[in-house]
Copies of this chain bind each other. A is one copy, B any other.
Amino acid sequence: MSDPRTHPTAVDTPTSSALGRHLLVDLYGCARGRLDDLDYVRQCLLNAAVQAGATVVDSHFHSFSPCGVSGTVSIQESHLSIHTWPEHLYAAVDVFTCGSSVDPWRAYESLKNAFEADRGSAMEVHRGRPDLL
């Protein structure tokens, strides 16, 4: 696993031993058609989970009227979720992982490419910090 402290956007250090690593991802300027294609969005999330090194348990996706897709992927190591607003070319993604074998930043890179985002931002939040338990 990469050290979260080496990422400039990681916050709340020292937390390398936190129970969970939670990446809040915002993707801007995405390809509109891809954000409104449920099958594509689902495959992107599943691919991102695999890229991160996670084991997928199940996944559930829904389309909304007039547009937009929401979905969650349960992984052995926690979950991924996505909500898309095609009309704004925007997607909000969360990648929540636990354990040392998974790197959520790999999911971020995978998703940014898959949706052809002009700009992406991600903030890592450490959940279950040992000094707070």
Q: Return the CB mask of A71-102 against B: 1 if under 8 Å, else 0.
A: 01010101101010100111010101010000
Shortest C-beta distance, A86 to chain B (Å), equals 12
Shortest C-beta distance, A34 to chain B (Å), equals 17
CB-defined contacts of A33 to chain B, threshold 8 Å: none
A26 to B22, CA, bound (A): 12
A7 to B58, CA, bound (A): 35
Shortest C-beta distance, A133 to chain B (Å), equals 5
A26 to B70, CA, bound (A): 24
A19 touches which one: B57, B76, B79, B88 (CB < 8 A)?
Answer: B88
Across the interface, do A128 and B96 meet the contact criterion of CB distance under 8 Å? no
A133 to B88, CA, bound (A): 7
In the complex, what residue of chain B is closest to A130 when comparing beta carbons?
Answer: B88
Across the interface, do A128 and B72 meet the contact criterion of CB distance under 8 Å? no
CB-defined contacts of A58 to chain B, threshold 8 Å: 60
Whether A94 touches B94, Cβ cut-off 8 Å, given contacts A70-B79, A74-B60, A127-B26, is yes
The residues in A between 1 and 53 inclusive whose CB is less than 8 angstroms from any CB of B are 19-20, 22, 24, 26, 28
